[in-house]
Structure formats: C-alpha cells, structure tokens
A = this chain, B = another copy of it.
Amino acid sequence: MARPEDPTARERILDAAHPLFYERGIRAVGMAEVVAAAGTGKQALYRHFPGKDELVLAYLERFAELLDASTARTLDGLEGADGLRALIRLVERRVGARGYAGCPFRNYLREMRDPRDRPGRFALRQVRALRRLVERYAAEAGVADPGALAEEVWLIVEGVYAGAPYPERRAMAAAAVGRVDALLI
C-alpha cells in the first residue's frame, strides 16, 4: 500500500458527521459537507458507508451506544420507584445540558415524518426501549395499576423531550421531576 490503511477513518467520518447531523438535522447536511468536515475524500466515505442511510444509521447507533451506556451507569442497581425517580432526573440532566438539541432519535423520526427506513426503525426501537424500561420500573413499584403509572411517567418523559427546543426547557424538566416524585409518594 502507498499509504498506511487508516483504521480510524470511519471514526473520523462519524466524528465529523455527529455535530453536523445533531445540530442542523439530517436533511440540511449534505454528504459533501460531511466529507469536507471529515477532511477525507468522497471515495473514502462511500467505501465505509454505502449510502447516506447507512451513515445516518451509524450516527444514530453510535449515539445510542453513548446514551445507553450513560443510562445503564445511572440506573445501575436501581429498581421500581427509585428507578423512575433516577430516570426522570437523568432526562432532566440531559435536556438541561449546554447545547442540547433534543433527543436524536425523536428528532430523526419527526424530521422524516415517521420513516420506515433502517435509521427510522432503529430510532423507533430506541424510543420504545426507553418506554419498556419505564414499564418495567412501574411494574416493580408496587402500585395498584402499574400500567397507568407507566403511562403517566411516559407522558411526562415525552413532554420533556417535546419541550427541549423551547427556551423554557429547564423549567419543564424541573416540573417533570416534581410530577414524577409526586406520582410516587
């Protein structure tokens, strides 16, 4: 080979695509811009990713790994009401972080109006995995109607994510923590 094969090329591309896709949206960012930001050639990008869908899927998957790991760390060992309390605080912390631009999976689903492509199916799976987590904790919480509790907590979680783009997102997240705590008294 003329140049040493760069095993980090794929990661470099994803590193470059990540902030572009997250901050400006998938549709607004063209492949040319990703290439320019990655400092690589178009050929290299299309060798690692057959098309834009695959690049978007990889972006979402890497995002999911990060979020899932952080979620697992935060909720480790918790169950029932404690799990729900910790979960809503985790969501609050995320939404309140500087530069937060919404849940990437919900962003993709809304930007594309319920896509059935692979990135869309993956994003939907991520959302529903969080919902199942809420249902599991609700089932362990020892309340009379776990299904109703899960529905109420989920409603609040969705409300926080929906409010993430607005200036009052921190107030909404704080209200969410208060509501979940009140539910679990």
Contact = CB atoms under 8 A, between A and B. Distances in A.
Nearest to A171: B151
A158 interface: yes
A144 to B, nearest CB: 14
Nearest to A148: B175
B114 A111 contact: no
Contacts of A175: 148, 151-152, 155
B156 A172 contact: no
A25 B159 contact: no
Interface string A140-153: 00000000100110
Nearest to A147: B171
B148 A172 contact: no
A81 to B, nearest CB: 17
